[in-house]
Chains A and B, each alone.
Chain A
Amino acid sequence: MADFGYSLTPSSRIDLNKADRETFGKLVKLEPDVLKCMACGSCTASCTAGVYTRTSIRSAILYLQNGREKEALEFIKGCMLCGKCTIVCPRAINTRQLVLSICKIYNLK
């Protein structure tokens, strides 16, 4: 193919029929506040680990909602539980505990 100096972005279409909604349901049951996230990104902007890694609660929540656990994990594995994101979250989501709960429920190893 000719090189135009740019390429098409890969499709970001999500097949929610294939996504694992059940596990997400479990998470919502444990942390109902996860649904309150408005993706403002304050958590990501303040994140201590975010200076060096892709750590981002906002993205993790979005990816989980879209049934993409593997990618979501990438966004929380560097979290140091410093708690800054919880303090700045305008929706008063306990993001720090959310990180632990995600790890618990998705049983990620």
Chain B
Amino acid sequence: MKERILSGYDNFVLPFMIGMVFLCIYLLIGLIRILKHIPGPDRKKLALSFINPRIIYKDCRDILCDCLLHVKIFKRKALLGYMHASIAFGWFMIIVIGHIEVALYTPQRNGLIYYPVFFRYFTMENNHTLRGAFFFFLMDFFLLVILSGIALAMYKRVRSIALGMRRTTKPSLADRIGLYCLWAIFPLRLLAESFTAGISGGSFLTKPMNFLFANFLSNDYHILPTWWAYSTVLGTFLLVMPFTRYMHIPTEAFLILLRNAGLKVTRPRKGFAEAEIYACSSCGICLDACPMNMQKKNLKYSSVYFIRFLRRHNTRKINEIADKCLMCGKCVALCPVGVESCAIKRAQRSTVTDGLYYDYSYLKTLSPVPANPADVSETMTDKPVLYYAGCMTHLTPGISKAMKEIFRAAEIPYRFLDENGGICCGRPLMLAGKEKAARELVRKNTELIRAAGCDTLVLSCPICFKVFREEYDLQGITILHHTQYIENLIRKGKLKLNATSRSYVYHDPCELGRGAKVYEEPRRILERMGRLVKAEKEKEESICCGGSLGSLTLNYEDRIKITRGSLKALTYNHPDNIITACPLCLKTFAAQSPVKVMDIAQAVTENLEAIREPAASGTEKTQFGN
């Protein structure tokens, strides 16, 4: 390998250089802006993360797996994953190998940004070409990988379902320009390198093309124009990149650094949130994920468009979408980039609602529950647990009744914190953006719980469960959802269940599943009582019941459609019963469901082995009969 162009420069590199310099300046300014808006303590956290070996390792692993190999997409849809990975990883490898080539064969050109990009133009082969053949092969190989990815991407535009996507995003004008440039870059590179392969050498792809062209085209005349075309398209791509979705390429890596440093969204548009916004690749995976999209008219409320409007500072649309979202978290769970759109939406709601009037002065007058456990007898040896039903459970008293019966059957003394009315846990306020008001409730509830003096807190509502675990300071108190608690009792042998031949399907409530990652306990309980069948979409992909408190403005008709869709997915395998673990899901489903819906606590009481004389409450019909 030796240099062919002695000056090491040709005018055709100019378009590329202009694009590259512009992009670098733009990225630098963006970086400073984001850092400026990150709160002081967070900035310190970020700085510290760069000297923490564990975080550095995590950074490297995440960048490799998420940005280059797209492992998350692979796991869901292999072909789609291949499409993303081939382009990202292939391109990365071409850049790396390009630099290695320069370092090995023309070390005097090290540091020239354009040199590795146009390496084949500036060099020619000599007697030692074989030494370069290995790299030629790699370069051609990765070029082929990228080209296959581009071919898939083109095919996806025509028939997205082939790659496992029902719906794709509508690209904006800038996105379209970027897209066509991206499609053109690599075929042009192939052409340019093929025309030059006679001089600079090539491998299994470029060499045969060179021979082929030579038969009917004069290769030499085509060398310069194709390199110009390649450089121009590449330069254009870099130039428009800041205004397109392809900003995710540099931003995603930066976001991983911020996230691994432990940063959180504090403001809807600035700092960390800005990094998230630019890291969205508009892949459209959140379109199929969103339960609102059971109706086509609601596509416009998807996270991808929320992010797009944030980029464009369209406040009216931003608010409209932020208020509509059910906060079910499915788009966040499935997002390959991990854009926390729900956190951004919450922060956005806060800008509107946090200052609104409220008056909770009555909280001062609220007194703690009586000190005596509600139900104790001499035979009970366990320490009393504290049971908090929550607002929603009071609408579905069947659940708290079932819980009481379970406590009795297991001979556990308990105190019922809000039997005669309590206050809300505060999460609905937080979801609505009223952080300040929510804090007042958090403070009061903490006081009430501490005053009750139990070291286990059992909750029936996943909404409460999530907020108690995440936002309350209840150190020393074990916080359990009743699914976990009942499973504990069964494992310890305190509850015995009859095995039946009934088939159950379990609905993962958003806040318990995706929100708190409790997936297995309820399933283990159900397996003991009967046959557990699968729903069409489960666990991470479970569909919101439609009753979510997360949405502020979604209307009744739209909610019903979601409920029906969710029920359809649940009854996919024709179960006898639908079992859920959230009072809100129960209430929402019970009104629409073709099969009987029960809370898991109710199902457990139905199948309790009679270890004591049958009590009146055991035979009582629960409120949600059929």
Contacts and interface: CB of A to CB of B under 8 A. Distances in A.
Interface of A: 46, 48-49, 51-53, 73, 77-84, 87-88, 92, 94, 96-97, 100, 103-104, 108-109
A77 B424 contact: no
B523 interface: no
Interface string B339-379: 00000000000001100111110100110000000000000
A78 B360 contact: yes
A108 B392 CA distance: 28
A82 B553 contact: no
Nearest to A109: B357
Contacts of A49: 423-424
Contact of A73 (B357, B426, B428, B587): B357
A81 B420 CA distance: 19
A67 to B, nearest CB: 19
Contacts of B441: 80
Among A48, A52, A77, A78, max chain B CB count under 10 A is at A48
Interface of B: 323, 352-353, 356-360, 362, 365-366, 391-392, 394-395, 420-424, 426, 428-429, 432, 434, 437, 441, 547, 549, 552-553, 555-556, 584, 587
Given A80-B360, A103-B356, 11 more contacts: A48-B422, A48-B423, A49-B423, A49-B424, A52-B366, A80-B423, A81-B549, A84-B392, A87-B395, A96-B549, A103-B357
Q: Which 10 residue pairs across A and B have the least CB separation, nearest first?
A: A51-B421, A92-B556, A80-B424, A77-B359, A103-B356, A82-B391, A82-B424, A108-B357, A83-B549, A81-B428
B612 to A, nearest CB: 34
A94 B391 contact: no
A100 B395 contact: no
Nearest to A88: B395
13 contacts: A48-B423, A48-B424, A49-B423, A49-B424, A52-B421, A78-B362, A80-B426, A81-B424, A82-B549, A83-B549, A96-B549, A97-B553, A100-B432
Contacts of A53: 362
A48 B356 contact: no
A72 to B, nearest CB: 12
Contacts of A84: 391-392, 394-395
A77 B366 contact: no
B354 to A, nearest CB: 11
A76 to B, nearest CB: 9
Contacts of B428: 80-83, 96
Nearest to A104: B356
Among A46, A80, A87, A104, max chain B CB count under 10 A is at A80
A52 B423 CA distance: 9
Nearest to A53: B362
Contacts of B426: 80
A87 B429 CA distance: 16
A83 B391 CA distance: 9
